[in-house]
Structure 1
Amino acid sequence: MSIDLTHPHFGMIPIEYIVADPNQPRKTFDEDALAELSESIKQSGILQPILTRPVAGSDTDVEIVAGERRYRAAKLAGLTEVPAIVREISDAEVAIMQLVENHQRADVAPIEEAEKMRKAMDDYGFSIEDLCEKMGVKRRWAYSRLQLLQLAPEARAALTEGKVNASTALLVARIPVPALQEKAMSEILANNGRDGTMSHRAAQELLAARYMLDLDEAPFDPADAKLVKGCGSCQECPKRAGNQPDVFTDVDANTCTDPDCFETKKQTHFKIILTKAEKKKIPIFSDWKEMQEQFPYGTTVSGSDRLWGLQRLVNHSEMSSKSIHEALSISQLPKPAAYLVEHDGEPVPKYLKIDIQNALEKAGIARTEEQQAEHLAELEKAAADETDGSRAPGPAIPKTRIEETIAAAYDKYHQAVFSAIRDQLQPAHTAAVYRAMAARLAVAASTGGFYIEISNDVGETYDVDLAQHAEVESMLEQATDEDVCRLYIEGLLEPGRVHSSEIRDGEFVPDEDDSDMVSLYAALYKVARIVGVDTSELQREAFRDIETKPTKALAPDAAWPFPKSKE
């Protein structure tokens, strides 16, 4: 056969004249799919011609531009010639044609497609916009595809081998540190010991929690360009999500994607704090029990502590739930009395409670003792005027002193019940207590944002630091069922503080919309009955000095959202 293939041509071409393109972006072909296509070709032939172009320096050879699958299947089918088109096509045009053809196929390997896109940009000067227009894709998709090229070798292998899909691999590719990529991918593949690979959603949650850090919550100043030499400011860093919006389309702008750098800055910041503390002769402790030898429990507070533990707040209902650091600016805070170094190295400032009280009074957030006395006198006078009818009509008066006193009595009562439960718990009670606690936990967890917190006074009863997981695990290995049950009680049943707004007609009535609080007090009383605590006697003792006592006992079981036990 004599065919001039150096010029445009259409017709049957011997298959021996056709050569594959060494720069073809597609390197992998599904063998089963090729076999199926080969059988189809045996039956019906090749319905769409293969597109080729002349090979420079050859009179016969042509190079495949589009249709390599058909070419391979034809060889499997034993064909000696195939229908083909020969056309003069530039390298740049070939690159785009192959990208378009492969993109239209469902089984193209994501990494191979990304490599061809990058090659087209590097070799022929195509912009990301050019590729989007030619391939008919959106800018976000194109950036996501190209981001896969940032995968570290092991993470890339997981994608190539089909262990993870492209969307999950993209989550890993956005981590800028190769070692962290490989660590993240290994966690995704391990899937916490479960069968199969972690789902995309689970992987997203994992990476958000461990590898995407909120700069708004950073203990250091993200704008400090001199904190760590060579690291610069977080605000201008390319590893900040907001500085790569096309890559981090679903991530908050002020997110750090380099946990190693974040940790370095954090630890450097901690060292600076401790160095300054040493110069100012401020005590530094690494063990809270050691600190309490110098600063007894109740004499110090942390910036995260809520204001409800302080006295004489001007606007109790609004301010009591705020933390000290939320209420007072840095300039308003007193000098720390000590620093307690946490397990992660963070030096937590501890302030004398009296100093914080004084700072609140100076800021106008709390009243002085003199101002409080005047305030209470005004309330009592207003209450007396309202009682004898001499008070002119007007807006409702604030809470009276008796309601605040009753609230304090309920606090005393609840703490007494809680302490009695801890003291009277016996091995025979554990099964029934666990059932009550399970109900309590279910309600608490359903409210969202629930977490177990052991107070310092409870923690003092243990020989281990309850904030140290390893110590707790070691303790539990030796603990009896009764000990474990007691730990559950201390984590789930410790009563909160009663506010005067919850005193109605002389008795404590928790807000029925606050299902967590309702379940807490219902469980407290239920467990008290199980272990045999005489709550009526404890209540009488707590209210002994109050003339206006509750007219009836609180019955939280009425609001308990679970069927009453048959116990």
Structure 2
Amino acid sequence: MNAPLPPGAVAVTALPVAAIAASPTNPRKHFDATYLAELAESIKSHGVIQPITVRPNPDTHSVKLYEIVVGECRFRAAQLAGLEHIPAFWRELDDKQVLEIQVIENLQRRDVHELEEAAGYRMLMDRHGYSVDDIADKIGKSKGYVYARLKLTALCEAGKDAFFDGKLDASTALLIARIRGDKLQQKAVKDITTGGYNGEPKSVRDTKYYIENAFTISLKQATFKLDDAGLLPAAGSCTDCPLRSGNDPDIFADLDDVDVCTDVKCFEEKQLARRDQLIANAEKHKIPVLRGDDITHDIMRHQYGLYGLNNERYIALDAKCDDDEQGRTYREILGDKAPVSALIEFGTSANNKQIAEVAEPTAIAKALKKAGIETKQEEEDPEELAAREQEDKEREQRQQELSVEEARRATLLEKSKAVLNAGGQLFYEDVLRLLVIGFIEQWFEYFEPETTLMAEFGYQEPEEGDDPDYEALAEQALAAIKAWPLSTLTAFTAALIGNEDLHPGHDWQAEQKAAFLDPLAELLKVDTPTQAAQAQEVGATEPKGKTKTAKKTKAKAGTAATASPNEPAAPAKTELLHAQAWPFPTGARK
């Protein structure tokens, strides 16, 4: 039984394979080699059962007389099978008709890749003026379906390759395609395809969580007005931005919140621009700007967010007013009449600094009273007051301990530099090498090494948007240290001691770094403030002779002589210290 003729087609004709050209507008660009080989074997046995469809080649300069409209897979398989002729329907079609057949009809097949489907829809729109509604009507799908497919065309090349290779599915590819910029997309592809357990791809759930946290941000965190188009003129307002989730619900159908920004870099630039505005305005009106050491504990108990602000000192204008039945912020209630006592710049690191306008409670109370809102005066719970006072005492004590630690480290640095400047060595080479290795291992395990340290090992910073490969850097660092001469080891040790990252940023960090500094203090015989105080206590309670004996015994047990800032270190008198004799825990280090 003969196959029915397509509309406008002539009868089936056997055309020379050599006279047929593939169509440049065919959206299908990837052909499965295994499938083609199997189809070629079938053609050898049974021939081409379903004829291909061709039209006269519009390229009159080509030696190929015909162009394939439908059936490129069969054509390629026929070539593999060695056929000289192939059955074909011959039709007179213009470019628009050809593309409609290739996209609307042919792309509805199950084996068509989503990226090829997307490319076909894009060609219909770009070349022949189709709208999303037109395509949706033609293929019987929703507009959201078409928009989602079209968004896949924004996927970076690395993402497309991973998608074709089966490392990404359509939903994950769409999440990546929504990320702004090729570099960030490339980072996402790498992290998603290799960031799972044992280097496997992340799960769908983990991928969604990763992208939402790394590449989107809630506009509720904005310190600027969302409708302010003049803050960053090149970006315009957030309310009209297509990268705001609520402005493109078809693309961001998986996001429940309409106020999600999907261009984190733009958001950060607006935050900085607003910060500069606030600071300039504060300086103009002589309003103090509190930052760094200005923010004492009685102002902010911690800097993880505005909820750390001590409301007995300052109240944030963007905080909700507890006395307002509508749950508005102080700024929303008071508008331009909101008092500003100071600006506070806070954050746990240089990368997440925020700035807030704050006012003293008395100023807020007066402004609210004028606005017709009476504030409630609540008596503080005595137990809570006592607990807070105790907490303040403990924190003050800890600050004193950290001050002592700072002084000790400053003394260590001075002593170490004095030894080096005088041409001496800090202590024996094997101890020094293992000490530095131990510190580096700890650093890479708990902290991100700063650029200056990375440069010591010839490590190049990755391009913007990529994270350093700390594992590779650690291996590179340890290999270098094991080959360093003594002079390099001693110089690098002094650099580590003086590095700002060795100063305690918080309690846990100070305790961890004592593992590196304590043995150095003992080996250099640094008389720290704590040790000096202990020595005074011993001298006050014991006979002088006994005290001198104790000091002599302690000095004799040392591994390196004490060096003063103006004198070189005397040669050590004891045998080489090995790992088992270290004055600090070795753990599993070798």
Q: Which residue of 1 aligns with 2:262?
A: 257
Aligned-residue sequence identity (percent) comes to: 32
Residue 65 (structure 1) aligned with residue 69 (structure 2): yes
User: CA 1:232/1:458 → structure 2, altered by over 3 Å: closer, same or farther?
Assistant: farther
The equivalent position to 1:99 in structure 2, one of 87, 103, 112, is 103
Letter in 2 for 1:282: I
| Cα displacement (A) at 1:193 | 7.4
Q: Secondary structure at the match of 2:86?
A: strand
CA RMSD of aligned residues (A): 4.3
Q: Which residue of 1 aligns with 2:17?
A: 15
1:418-438 deviation digits (Å, cap 9, x = unpaired) = 879x98xxxxxxxxxxxxxxx
Q: Which residue of 1 aligns with 2:47?
A: 45
Residue 244 (structure 1) aligned with residue 248 (structure 2): yes
How is 1:75-90 mapped onto 2 (pairs within 5 angstroms)?
Answer: 75-90=79-94
Q: Is the 8 A contact 1:256 1:262 kept in 2?
A: yes
The equivalent position to 1:366 in structure 2, one of 371, 375, 396, is 375
Rounded Cα–Cα distance in structure 2 between residues aligned with 1:104 and 1:367: 67
Q: Is the 8 A contact 1:339 1:349 kept in 2?
A: yes
Q: Is the 8 A contact 1:303 1:325 kept in 2?
A: no
1:197-224 deviation digits (Å, cap 9, x = unpaired) = 2333323222222322222331001111
Q: Which residue of 2 aligns with 1:347?
A: 355
| Cα displacement (A) at 1:270 | 0.6
Q: Which residue of 2 aligns with 1:223?
A: 227
For structure 2, list consecutive stretches of 5 or more residues without a partner in the other structure. 1-7, 314-320, 404-446, 449-500, 516-590
Identify which range, 258-267 or 16-25, moves more after superposition. 16-25
User: CA 1:476/1:13 → structure 2, altered by over 3 Å: closer, same or farther?
Assistant: farther
Q: Is the 8 A contact 2:323 2:373 kept in 1?
A: no
Q: Is the 8 A contact 1:53 1:87 kept in 2?
A: yes
Q: Which residue of 1 aligns with 2:571?
A: none
User: CA 1:119/1:270 → structure 2, altered by over 3 Å: closer, same or farther?
Assistant: same
Q: Secondary structure at the match of 1:82?
A: strand
| Cα displacement (A) at 1:462 | 7.5
Q: Which residue of 2 aligns with 1:477?
A: 512
**Number of matched pairs:** 392
The equivalent position to 1:159 in structure 2, one of 150, 159, 163, is 163
Q: Which residue of 2 aligns with 1:279?
A: 284
Rounded Cα–Cα distance in structure 1 between residues aligned with 2:64 and 2:10: 12
Q: Is the 8 A contact 1:50 1:66 kept in 2?
A: yes
Rounded Cα–Cα distance in structure 2 between residues aligned with 1:244 and 1:25: 26
Letter in 2 for 1:30: D
Letter in 2 for 1:79: L
- Could you state the TM-score of these two structures normalised by the residue count of structure 1? 0.58
Rounded Cα–Cα distance in structure 1 between residues aligned with 2:174 and 2:300: 50
Q: Is the 8 A contact 1:152 1:182 kept in 2?
A: yes
User: CA 1:21/1:210 → structure 2, altered by over 3 Å: closer, same or farther?
Assistant: same
User: CA 1:37/1:239 → structure 2, altered by over 3 Å: closer, same or farther?
Assistant: same
| Cα displacement (A) at 1:32 | 0.8
| Cα displacement (A) at 1:29 | 0.7
Q: Secondary structure at the match of 1:292?
A: coil
User: CA 1:356/1:145 → structure 2, altered by over 3 Å: closer, same or farther?
Assistant: same
1:168-203 deviation digits (Å, cap 9, x = unpaired) = 222222234344333433433342675222333323
User: CA 1:352/1:48 → structure 2, altered by over 3 Å: closer, same or farther?
Assistant: same
How is 1:93-492 mapped onto 2 (pairs within 5 angstroms)?
Answer: 93-191=97-195, 194-251=198-255, 252-287=257-292, 289-292=293-296, 304=307, 325=330, 329-330=334-335, 333-337=338-342, 339-342=344-347, 343=350, 344-356=352-364, 364-367=373-376, 408-411=381-384, 463=402, 471-472=505-506, 474-475=509-510, 477-478=512-513
- Could you state the TM-score of these two structures normalised by the residue count of structure 2? 0.56
User: CA 1:275/1:419 → structure 2, altered by over 3 Å: closer, same or farther?
Assistant: closer
User: CA 1:55/1:358 → structure 2, altered by over 3 Å: closer, same or farther?
Assistant: closer
Q: Secondary structure at the match of 1:348?
A: strand
Rounded Cα–Cα distance in structure 1 between residues aligned with 2:353 and 2:309: 23
User: CA 1:333/1:413 → structure 2, altered by over 3 Å: closer, same or farther?
Assistant: same
Q: Secondary structure at the match of 1:83?
A: strand
Identify which range, 33-42 or 52-61, moves more after superposition. 52-61
Rounded Cα–Cα distance in structure 2 between residues aligned with 1:67 and 1:408: 82
1:358-410 deviation digits (Å, cap 9, x = unpaired) = 66677644346xxx8xxxxxxxxxxxxxxxxxxxxxxxxxxxxxxx8xx9355
| Cα displacement (A) at 1:20 | 2.3
Rounded Cα–Cα distance in structure 2 between residues aligned with 1:462 and 1:210: 38
User: CA 1:332/1:105 → structure 2, altered by over 3 Å: closer, same or farther?
Assistant: same
Rounded Cα–Cα distance in structure 2 between residues aligned with 1:48 and 1:297: 77
| Cα displacement (A) at 1:42 | 3.1
User: CA 1:278/1:173 → structure 2, altered by over 3 Å: closer, same or farther?
Assistant: same
Q: Secondary structure at the match of 2:195?
A: helix
Q: Which residue of 1 aligns with 2:29?
A: 27
Letter in 2 for 1:345: K
Q: Is the 8 A contact 1:284 1:341 kept in 2?
A: no
Rounded Cα–Cα distance in structure 2 between residues aligned with 1:120 and 1:296: 62
Q: Secondary structure at the match of 1:245?
A: coil
Rounded Cα–Cα distance in structure 1 between residues aligned with 2:200 and 2:192: 10
For structure 1, list consecutive stretches of 5 or more residues without a partner in the other structure. 1-5, 311-315, 373-403, 424-455, 481-567
User: CA 1:98/1:353 → structure 2, altered by over 3 Å: closer, same or farther?
Assistant: same
Rounded Cα–Cα distance in structure 2 between residues aligned with 1:305 and 1:327: 21
Q: Secondary structure at the match of 1:9?
A: coil
